Homo-oligomer: A and B are copies of this chain.
Amino acid sequence: MNKIKDDTTESQILEAAKSIFQSKGMDGARMQEIADKAGINKAMLHYYYRSKQMLFEAVFNNAFSLLAPQLNAILNDDSSIEEKIKNFTSNYISFIIKHPYLPNFVIQELNRNPEFIIKLKVSKDFPNLDKFKKQVEEEIKTGVIKPIKAEQLFINIMALNIFPFVAKPLIKAFINAEDATYNQLMENRKTEVSNFIINSIKN
């Protein structure tokens, strides 16, 4: 259970780069700022990661490989659709509260750089809808849930869970909430969202 991040220079750089890239993006991040945050000389960044681009990609892949298993949970395990939605919603919201910059970062840089996804897609852990699709069709046939395309259901699940974090400043403004009430609202969504979805699709 010992979760001490090893404090080699290389991992110190990666940690600092994560923090800077995730809050400022590729274009907004400065190598000097990353070096300062890591408490080392700027030349070391290039010594270990060659270029800004390569350091960025290390951070990005790291971020994505944190996100992907979360999605695989809903796609590839064996419980019923209802179970999956309940578990995923609760787990995912907890997960994001721990990594608030993550979804935004991934979405943003993917929009700026759509070809990134090609490299990711070949990975064996890249989320795949096949099993989920079969399961949805099966539960529709047996009358457990109402007709819906698996793709649309999956998009809805992602949207309801991820969007509130991606659009945090916008939502805070519309709801007229400070951080405390915003956080409370997100906490409530752990059950709120799954009820909302299940209400809609269950027969």
Contact = CB atoms under 8 A, between A and B. Distances in A.
Interface of A: 24-28, 71, 104, 106-108, 110-112, 114, 117, 120-121, 126-127, 129, 146, 148-149, 151-152, 154-156, 158-160, 162-164, 166-176, 185, 188-189, 192-193, 196-197, 199-201
Given A71-B174, A162-B167, A199-B200, 16 more contacts: A25-B112, A26-B28, A104-B111, A110-B170, A111-B169, A117-B169, A121-B173, A126-B173, A129-B174, A129-B176, A149-B188, A149-B192, A155-B175, A155-B189, A156-B160, A156-B193
- Decide if the interface of chain A is mainly helix, strand, loop or mixed: helix
A110 B152 contact: no
Contacts of A176: 129
A192 to B, nearest CB: 5
B129 A151 contact: no
Copies of the polypeptide in the assembly: 2
B196 A114 contact: no
Given A28-B27, A129-B175, A169-B111, A152 B189 contact: yes
Contacts of A108: 104, 108
Contacts of A200: 196-197, 199-200
Q: What 10 pairs across the A-B complex have the smallest Cβ distances?
A: A200-B200, A159-B163, A27-B27, A27-B28, A163-B163, A199-B200, A110-B169, A117-B173, A159-B159, A114-B169
